[in-house]
Structure 1
């Protein structure tokens, strides 16, 4: 009989103790030891211990009713063994809905709930293990991309040095070709001046007549024929029309051929005036056609070659300088502490969302294209915009095209850890302000974060509390 009394007393003591500490975490259990009185945790009031969890709120902070819904600001602790422990508002205690996966919040209701903590814990641990694997793989790939970035950086530095050397060599050539062109231009001018200084009478005229005659005499047989006139001579009003045979014969003085002497006294006069006929491909009269002089032609050809050579060198020099400017600009961009983001330069990533295709070209611009092909700028590369502790976690693209009755379009790119580099989502939380999620291995954090995940996994395998 005495044994039965002892057992009953022990059972009652356990039940009372269980009632008193329900909804309390281990770290707060010391405040709820069986005493004559209970001090509210905020120190505002002392109440008899019997009033703890009596379904009546005595403490302003609700600490006397951790296991009931009596206090509006109270909270109930879900132990959730096998899963993550957490607090819920005490108003949810015994409300017929299971909020704790271990069902401890519905201890005095008619609701039957299945304890799902083990399954939830298993799923979360599996998810965390997957995140760990992703992180480990991402960190491995990140190291490769860092090494690739170092290699690319060195290549670009070498390329810049080589281009600068090429530019110096072209500068020397440029000066040399300018001297050659100036020399050729002076020689041509001197030749012209020399010809102008010569006898301006028959001697010069004969040279011009002879030159035109040889130009018409295609087969160099000493005479101009009907066929040669038809091939080289045309009416001023209609150069495209080929002369008829009768028209060519008429120009040849009624015959079918003409020597230099006859040409000088007949056909030359018509060609010189340029009123009705002309040599195809020329403009107007031939009175001042001194360029047909062999010396003038030679000097002119030399000047033209010098000008063409100079133009080629100038174009090459300009192209190299543009490449130097572009490469220098790229080398001044901040590609991360270890230049891990350098591999993204000259790359673009696309994502289609409904009727729009979004294109992100890191360190350049962001665009949006609709199904009709209309493209809109959502911003140009601005700066890194992450937190002070992780500034390379966000990119900012600014000064895109203005919205209709709205602000200028801007885009924030959030970089997240992943095993490949790809756009994952595009959102527009406010008008013309876009947020993109770019997943990439180089956004994975160093092992310190990995240790935190290991700790979280380890903690969830045993009983723990917040």
Structure 2
């Protein structure tokens, strides 16, 4: 009985070893955990696309039976098949099944070369460490970028309010200047009417001592002093008026007093007073007033144009307006002035426009991710130069790279904290770590 029992145990062990070996030889490789339910060992296997039902022993038999290649996930038999690298400790991914057992290690866990001469080392842990360090660095950058972004948002709100206040102040100044200018024009029209009336009254002749302007280019207009609505000092009269018959002689104080005394002017109806310098001052005030009003409106228009730009939901990009950022690439110096223009300058000093501010590109996920600059200088192949600026998250604001993937079409990488988003999708480190 003891002998019988020993033989029986040997037989059972042999069957077990055969079964284990058979199961291992038919092990389904190259599938993810989400697809394992399709590969539970049974009598038959249904192709995942539902096109064919085959015996289960034909799975991974190195012959392609399913059109979608699902019966050969662990071999290179199917031209469109995929092999799943589990890569514990790193990121899992798929490779074309044609790379299975080709002597080249494509999976960091070496699972794709289970039956080849290649001696692959499992490098997933080291790669995972680097990946984790990278992700941690990215998260630190994101945290710092978001902190700086909040500061820039607060500064942007204050700057927006300040510019709005400047706009209101300029508009008020322009309105006040316009009122003053209109009032001055009204007074000048009245003075012109007085002048015309006086000249008509004096056409009868010159019954007394006459005077005229020293510098006739100042106006050459004669006005009776007592008709003039403005006042004039002795020094001003002496500086501007001389006797008609003796141009080299200067007026004395008494003579100047006569010309500036209203009662004397009234008694001497032929007295002619020349007030060209006042008229000239009148003219200067009008010109200066117009210049001031015009200058105010130029500033107002400039401010309105700047405030019309979309600086983000919280005005976080407002601080970029008026700033410029440079980057030297080989023999060229590139200058990006956000919301304004982009230029390229060669070492020879030739400067070319690569585009003027156009709009936000408005991609689907983030409206403030790309800037479009258009209508740069003409390209020799036709059309004009243009640039797309992609904004990336960083702890400092700087122009990072410039490329020209196609002729006269440029792309730039512009790093700034305001491009940081509260939720950053991490590059996946496998959950099975």
Q: TM-score, normalised by structure 2?
A: 0.80
Deviation at 1:334, TM superposition (A): 1.2
Matched, 1:44 2:51: yes
Aligned to 2:146: 139
Matched, 1:416 2:392: yes
Question: Aligned partners of 2:58 and 2:365: how far apart in 1?
Answer: 49
CA RMSD after TM alignment: 2.9
Match of 2:344 among 334, 354, 368: 368
Deviations 1:319-340 (A, max 9, x none): 1111111111111111112221
Deviation at 1:207, TM superposition (A): 11
More displaced stretch, 209-218 vs 77-86? 209-218
Matched, 1:308 2:284: yes
Matched, 1:460 2:425: no
CA contact (8 A) 2:211 2:273 kept: no
- 1:418 and 1:302, CA in 2 relative to 1: closer, same or farther beyond 3 A? same
Question: Aligned partners of 2:319 and 2:242: how far apart in 1?
Answer: 70
Aligned to 1:261: none
Question: Aligned partners of 2:246 and 2:170: how far apart in 1?
Answer: 51
Aligned to 1:330: 306
Deviation at 1:113, TM superposition (A): 1.3
Question: Aligned partners of 2:242 and 2:289: how far apart in 1?
Answer: 39
Question: Aligned partners of 1:4 and 1:296: how far apart in 2?
Answer: 144
Deviation at 1:9, TM superposition (A): 4.4
- 1:199 and 1:461, CA in 2 relative to 1: closer, same or farther beyond 3 A? same
Deviation at 1:77, TM superposition (A): 1.2
- 1:15 and 1:342, CA in 2 relative to 1: closer, same or farther beyond 3 A? farther
Aligned to 1:392: 368
- 1:195 and 1:34, CA in 2 relative to 1: closer, same or farther beyond 3 A? same
Paired residues for 1:96-115 under 5 Å: 96-115=103-122
Aligned to 1:288: none
Deviation at 1:12, TM superposition (A): 4.3
What secondary structure does 2:354 align onto? strand
What secondary structure does 2:432 align onto? coil
Matched, 1:24 2:56: no
What secondary structure does 1:163 align onto? helix
- 1:12 and 1:180, CA in 2 relative to 1: closer, same or farther beyond 3 A? farther
Q: Which runs of 5+ in 2 are unaligned?
A: 1-5, 215-240, 253-269
- 1:295 and 1:427, CA in 2 relative to 1: closer, same or farther beyond 3 A? farther
Deviation at 1:5, TM superposition (A): 5.1
Q: TM-score, normalised by structure 1?
A: 0.75
Aligned to 2:258: none
Deviation at 1:84, TM superposition (A): 0.8
Match of 2:401 among 425, 433, 450: 425
Deviations 1:273-321 (A, max 9, x none): xxxxxxxxxxxxxxxxxxxx99453x11110111112222221111111
What secondary structure does 1:96 align onto? coil
Question: Aligned partners of 1:67 and 1:11: how far apart in 2?
Answer: 23
Paired residues for 1:279-298 under 5 Å: 295-297=272-274
Question: Aligned partners of 2:31 and 2:44: how far apart in 1?
Answer: 18
Question: Aligned partners of 2:243 and 2:210: how far apart in 1?
Answer: 11
Aligned to 1:356: 332
How many residue pairs end up in the alignment? 383
Deviation at 1:194, TM superposition (A): 5.4
Deviation at 1:99, TM superposition (A): 0.3
CA contact (8 A) 1:192 1:296 kept: no
Question: Aligned partners of 2:19 and 2:65: how far apart in 1?
Answer: 24
Deviation at 1:187, TM superposition (A): 5.1
Matched, 1:175 2:182: yes
- 1:42 and 1:203, CA in 2 relative to 1: closer, same or farther beyond 3 A? closer
- 1:156 and 1:29, CA in 2 relative to 1: closer, same or farther beyond 3 A? same
Q: Which runs of 5+ in 1 are unaligned?
A: 221-292
Deviations 1:137-195 (A, max 9, x none): 11111111111111111111111111111111111211222234334545555565555
Matched, 1:198 2:205: yes
What secondary structure does 2:35 align onto? helix
Between Structure 1 and Structure 2, the one with more helix by share is: 1
Question: Aligned partners of 2:68 and 2:136: how far apart in 1?
Answer: 39
Question: Aligned partners of 1:129 and 1:207: how far apart in 2?
Answer: 86
Deviation at 1:37, TM superposition (A): 2.4
Aligned to 2:322: 346
Deviation at 1:34, TM superposition (A): 2.2
Aligned to 2:3: none
